[in-house]
């Protein structure tokens, strides 16, 4: 066999081996378990919940990992009140099906509007969203402090439409006032949770939300 042809065959074999090894590595990566590392090793945490779809896979994942979430529904940003009630009822339905406790915070949209005053024209992911996260998570942190829950996190972190940096900034600020409460900055967009979320939404037939929640998020991008 001519040397040139033999050399080309060796190159092809090497490339095939490389492709096979890469394929094995990818498969192993997909099989890696999604590990939850709860601060302080807590097994009961306060989960601020924005809606049933966002909480669905997160709650299921927690339960499978021996973590019991106390669902805290605090979303005074939602407008109108009828929309708020629909979303709250869906959260209650999901929590009830799993035998979980759900805390319904007061709906005070006027107070929320006062809290974001001056930021009405901010775009999504802008300063208004950060202020909104701070408002809701500060209430969650206070509830955790008053009721002996040491760790809080939020389902807001599952949405690709929201800024993780803003959410974590708001969460850290919320717990700063309470030395006995820790912010859990888990990235809930990993570990196949997005895919599982879609499956659970279909299984439960959850209400289809057409906008984030507040009246300002109802606007089209060009407006």
Q: With contact defined as beta carbons under 8 Å apart, do 57 and 189 qualify? A: no
Instruction: Check pLDDT > 50 for residue 31.
Output: no
User: What is the per-residue pLDDT for 133?
Assistant: 98
**Measured distance CA(171)–CA(3) in Å, rounded:** 66
pLDDT of residue 33: 61
Which of the four pLDDT bands, split at 50, 70 and 90, describes residue 220?
A: low
Distances (CA, A) of 111 to 119, 135, 173: 14, 10, 20
218: number of CA atoms within 13 Å, CB side?
A: 8
Predicted confidence band at 1 (pLDDT cuts at 50, 70, 90)?
Answer: low
Instruction: Read off the pLDDT of residues 186-199 as tens digits, 9 standing for 90 and up.
Output: 999 999 999 999 99
Q: Which residue in 176, 157, 150, 146 sits closest to 54, CA to CA?
A: 157
User: Dihedral of CA 220/50/203/82: which sign?
Assistant: negative
Give 157 or 220, the one with higher predicted confidence.
Answer: 157
pLDDT digits (tens, 9 = 90+) for 50-71: 999 999 999 999 999 999 999 9
* Exposure of 202 in the CB half-sphere (CA atoms within 13 A): 5
Distance CA 208, CA 205 (A): 9
pLDDT tens-place string over residues 143-181: 999 999 999 999 999 988 899 999 999 999 999 999 999
Fold adopted by 44-218: Rossmann fold (3.40.50)
| DSSP-assigned letters across all residues of 177-205 | T-TT-EE----TT-TTHHHHHHHHHHHHT
pTM of the model: 0.84
Residue 87 has pLDDT above 50, yes or no: yes
pLDDT at 208: 87
For residue 134, pLDDT beyond 90: yes
User: Of the candidates 150, 145, 163, 141, which has an alpha carbon nearest to the alpha carbon of residue 212?
Assistant: 163
pLDDT for 36 beyond 50: yes
Q: What is the pLDDT of residue 161?
A: 86
**Domains of the chain by residue range:** 44-218
Computed over every residue of the chain, the mean pLDDT equals 88
The per-residue pLDDT for 53 is 96
What pLDDT, on the 0 to 100 scale, is given for residue 160?
87
- Given a cut of 90, whether residue 27 has pLDDT beyond it is no
Residue 2: band (very low, low, confident or very high) from pLDDT cuts 50, 70, 90: low
């Amino acid at each position: 066999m001519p040397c040139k042809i033999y050399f080309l065959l060796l190159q092809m074999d090497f490339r095939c081996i490389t492709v096979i090894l890469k394929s094995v590595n990818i498969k192993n990566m997909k099989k890696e378990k999604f590990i939850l590392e709860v601060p302080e090793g807590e097994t009961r945490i306060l989960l601020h919940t924005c809606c049933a779809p966002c909480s669905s896979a997160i709650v299921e994942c927690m339960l499978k990992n021996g973590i019991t979430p106390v669902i805290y529904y605090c979303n005074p940003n939602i407008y109108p009140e009828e929309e708020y009630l629909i979303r709250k009822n869906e959260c209650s339905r999901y929590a009830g099906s799993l035998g979980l406790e759900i805390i319904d915070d007061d709906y005070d949209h006027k107070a929320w509007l006062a809290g974001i005053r001056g930021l009405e024209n901010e775009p999504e992911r802008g300063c208004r969203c950060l202020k909104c996260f701070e408002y809701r998570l500060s209430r969650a942190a206070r509830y955790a402090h008053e009721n002996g829950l040491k760790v809080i996190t939020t389902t807001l972190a599952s949405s690709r439409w929201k800024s993780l940096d803003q959410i974590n900034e708001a969460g850290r600020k919320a717990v700063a006032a309470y030395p006995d409460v820790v912010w859990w900055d888990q990235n809930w967009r990993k570990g196949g949770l997005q895919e599982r979320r879609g499956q659970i939404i279909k299984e439960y037939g959850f209400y289809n939300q057409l906008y984030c929640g507040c009246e300002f998020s109802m606007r089209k991008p060009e407006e």
